[in-house]
Amino acid sequence: MNLRIVHKLSVCGFLVVAMLTTRQLSAQYLTLEGQTGGFLTPTAYVIESAKGHIFSHPAVGYHFVGSDAVIGDVQTFSITEGFGNRAEVGYTRSLHWTGNSPLFSSLWNYSGMNVFHGKAVLIKDGQFGPATPGIAVGGVARLNDHFVSGHLNYVLGIGADKGFTNGDVYVVATKTWAKPPVPFLLNFGLKMTNGEIFGLGGQATRFGGRLFGGLGIPLPVGHGLVAVPSAGFTQEPAQVKNLGAILVGGKAHIPMTLDYAIRVTQITHPRFAFDIGVGQIAGNIGTTYVAGLGFIPVNLQARHVIGTGLSYRF
């Protein structure tokens, strides 16, 4: 049996349901890139520091996204440190396994990249009354990103196989409402970015504004645990650097990234969170011409990919 399939099944077997309910609960869960937040998008919370302490206990996270048909599978290992319930910084190592497409997986034939992030809370959730959302600003830097744009830089004769640096600068508002009639967590933000699909899609052709957000509904499941189904979205830059040169018409069709996840964690004094979800990334993004084969669709086969994660605060 394919070892990747075994890996996916074994991970999914341990991870069952997901998301969060209160500000306290949302404090230590890490995204795919190591920030506090949902599966993909950051929230306006940071790693919790104990009362009277500036430094938090660090939070560590592991995420797996399976898309081996073309893009390849991704694993991330993160560590994040909080400061006085007002800021956090962290590092993520993103590891990549090459996909199975003989035509297109070479665009992702690289081991991964390094990701650094930081965030500061400007207004805490509820600071000026029950209806006040939390507001935070943050940034992400992805180093040595060879995916797609870097590979094509060499293939097209532009220069060396280049590792790009791309990143995000964002502002986000988050509101947790843990009261009747319907508890919820609502998240919405704006990021300026030149990274396509969190850097996995390569370098965007320009630095521009994109929206992101999500909604989660908490459901108590007993034994001191809570599960929250959630849905999130992230708009992606319209075009990828160098990619248009191999596509008919010179433009790619990059859709919005969507994720549907569930998270399970402890209701009080939480230290861990398990995540499992499905992501919709990209399918047919255009058409290219291959000698001997003619015109063929560039289908990334990533409209339904499995994602799992585990976060733990020491």
Say if residue 152 is exposed, middle or buried (CB neighbours under 10 Å; 0-12, 13-18, 19+). buried
Residue 1 has pLDDT above 90, yes or no: no
CA distance 271 to 76: 19
**Would you place residue 28 in the very low, low, confident or very high pLDDT band (cuts 50, 70, 90)?**
low
Q: Do you find a cis peptide bond into 297, omega within 30 degrees of 0? A: no
Question: Does residue 177 register a pLDDT over 60?
Answer: yes
Quick one: tokens of 68?
Answer: 């081996």
- If one counts every other C-beta atom within 10 angstroms of the C-beta of residue 282, the result is 26
Question: Which domains, from first to last, does the chain contain?
Answer: 3-313 (2.40.160.40)
pLDDT in tens, 92-151: 999 999 999 999 999 999 999 999 999 999 999 999 999 999 999 999 999 999 999 999
The tens digit of pLDDT for each residue in 55-102 reads 999 999 999 999 999 999 999 999 999 999 999 999 999 999 999 999
